[in-house]
Amino acid sequence: MARYVSEGAEVLVVTLTGGERGSILNPAMDRPEVLENIGEVRRQEMEEARRILGVRQEFSGFVDSGLPEGDPLPPLPEGCFALQPLEVAAEPLVRSVREFRPHVLLTYDEQGGYPHPDHIMCHKVSVEAFDAAGDPDRYPGTGEPWQPLKLYYHVSFPRERFEAIAKALSERGLENPFAEWMERMEERDYPQWEVTTRVRCEEYFETRDRALIAHATQIDPNGFWFAVPMDIQREVWPTEEYHLARSMVDTELPEDDLFAGLRDTV
């Protein structure tokens, strides 16, 4: 996002819930006054991340579903985002698409990146909005039709990335902070989408990290995500990865640009 903003693109982040049931994952923020006002704190964090990235951002207004834990899993809370009928959940995003008129949509895959119920619902409403926003007969009253031209899924945790970083760290005699996490990922055996698109953005890794750390209730700045030296990250894996799920324009794979096939056409 930071790269495309710097190149003059307009970027909108649509945040579907308020994170009201989210956990505090940063020990420095684990305080009663934060937990009591978690929804407001998360809005402040989002505003700071938005400012750092230079994007626009808006909330759709749904209530966080939380991440159910246990065996068997407990039922989701009544009225939460993940339990909304699809057309109810998708309507605000269709409205946002018709107002903002994007050429490209980015979203989670069918598993939500990892199976958080709100991530999975985010995938569903994103696909629905991509398919419906250009149809004048659907979602009346939400603005003039607009058809996005490309839909991508984030490929957030490609195994090859972590393997390449682990190799580079080993060659330098450094500890791999991802070792335990990689083992857990292998045990869970999450499906891996084909990477169709690799976008170079190493110049913006520091901006990315500052925007992540702005989400202070969720991100521990002393955690393992930030333990790999920046020069190694830039050298070993300078890209972010995506899977092209839908395209209304001709493009050749693999791509190195989310606007591949669009720059001349549009």
Contact 176, 164 (CB under 8 A): no
The values of phi and psi at residue 150, to 5°, are: -140, 140
- Per the annotation, binding residues are 119
Q: How many CB atoms lie within 10 A of CB 240?
A: 22
User: Rounded to an integer, what distance in angstroms lies between the CA atom of residue 230 and that of residue 158?
Assistant: 18
Q: Over 167-191, what HEC string results? A: HHHHHCCCCCCCHHHHHHHHHHCCC
User: Rounded to an integer, what distance in angstroms lies between the CA atom of residue 159 and that of residue 161?
Assistant: 5
- Per the annotation, binding residues for Zn(2+) are 119
Q: How many CB atoms lie within 10 A of CB 114?
A: 14
Burial, 178: exposed, middle or buried (Cβ in 10 Å; 0-12, 13-18, 19+)? buried
